[in-house]
Structure 1
Amino acid sequence: MRSFFRRQLADYVEYHRAPWNCAMHVFGIVLLFLAAVLPLSQWSIAVFGIQTSVATIAAIPVLIYWFLLDFALGAAILGAAIVLLSAAAIIVGQASTAGMWSLTAILIVIGGTSQVIGHQVFERRRPALVDNPVHLLLGPMFVMAKLFIVLGFRRDLAIIIDERPQGPLNSS
């Protein structure tokens, strides 16, 4: 999976060179993930005697996929997913059904619009997932990889993303 991930990331990067497009993706991906799990957080089910939400169950396959692509990035995304799943549970616990659906629609519109603006205005290129639907699942990995690079980790990914490695790993 590691070589597959590196090839996919290198391809994904070609669609995400503009810094403002990348910033729009950070914002958009978080909002779209929350929008995806929010309605599913309404339904609680018992799995092996443990009460959980359908959102958590639905997130498990993609989280496993991200772990298989890159364990460290997958673990970081798991942490972010826990925060977003918890936020969704709190929202569902406080909002009416109509309020939850309204918020979901707003999150989809704002998250999707940020993606479109990022590509049309800043990148001047259509979204990567139009050419390769697998890229839909690479967005969170790309965003987390950029974060790791900014924090001075993952020189191997900095080379793929075509940035200069930063931080303590830049000793050569």
Structure 2
Amino acid sequence: MKTLEEQLTQYARYHRSKRNIQTHFIGIPLIVFAVICLCARLQVGLGSVTLNGAVVVTALSVLYYLRLSVALGMLMALILSVMIWAAVPIAELSWVGWIAISLGLFVMGWVIQFIGHYFEGKKPAFADDLIGLVIGPLFILAEGLFLLGYYTELEQHIVQHAGPVKP
């Protein structure tokens, strides 16, 4: 399995435009929240316990993030838990309301993403490696932490191997 540095550097190679990264700060959370909203309505039985699908998908994602970095994985667990909490009322809406909100957010998120990639002049990372769909949220968390002055060694590693962020 690739390391955190390898995964984020690979993803960063598709995201060196400042405008593209900025659009991802909006687009990726919208997409992730939309997927959680869609999954939250699904019921998954595990023995005598019933979980909604969002909990299962989030748990699997968080296990992967924890394998890459315990600290970042725990932050992602917190963020995704808040998203699940916010998604439950949407999942409890009528079928039409649930689908309209979830798919509307999903489409809006992807439109914003593709606008960012237009600025970048590159295709999305997941076009070459589907793991990019899972790494995207972690990349945005890392970029946010870089802006706050955290994980400077990780940021330097990414810049050294993927190149600097351009205006």
TM band (smaller chain): 0.7 to 0.9
Give the CA deviation at 1:17. 0.8
Q: 8 Å contact 2:5–2:158 — kept in the other structure?
A: no
Q: Which amino acid aligns with 2:91?
A: V
For 1:35 and 1:115, the matched residues in 2 are separated by 14
Aligned to 1:159: 156
TM-score where L is the length of structure 2: 0.86
Residue 18 (structure 2) pairs with residue 24 (structure 1): no
Aligned to 1:135: 132
Distance of aligned partners of 1:128 and 1:43 in 2 relative to their CA distance in 1, 3 Å threshold: closer
Q: What's the RMSD between the two structures over aligned residues?
A: 1.9
Structure 1's consecutive aligned runs of 4 or more residues displaced over 3 angstroms after TM superposition are: 43-52
Distance of aligned partners of 1:155 and 1:89 in 2 relative to their CA distance in 1, 3 Å threshold: same
Where does structure 2 lack aligned partners over 5 or more consecutive residues? 161-167
The 3-state SS of whatever aligns with 2:51 is strand
For 1:45 and 1:129, the matched residues in 2 are separated by 27
The 3-state SS of whatever aligns with 1:152 is coil
TM-score where L is the length of structure 1: 0.84
After superposition, what is the alpha-carbon deviation per residue over 1:118-172, rounded to whole angstroms, capped at 9, x for unaligned?
101x101111111222211110111111111122211221112329xxxxxxxxx
For 2:103 and 2:39, the matched residues in 1 are separated by 14
Q: 8 Å contact 1:9–1:160 — kept in the other structure?
A: no
> Identity percentage over the alignment?
29
* Match runs of 1:1-172 below 5 Å: 4-44=3-43, 47=46, 52-93=51-92, 95-120=93-118, 122-162=119-159
Where does structure 1 lack aligned partners over 5 or more consecutive residues? 164-172
Structure having greater relative contact order (Cα 8 Å, sep ≥ 6): 2
Give the CA deviation at 1:43. 3.5
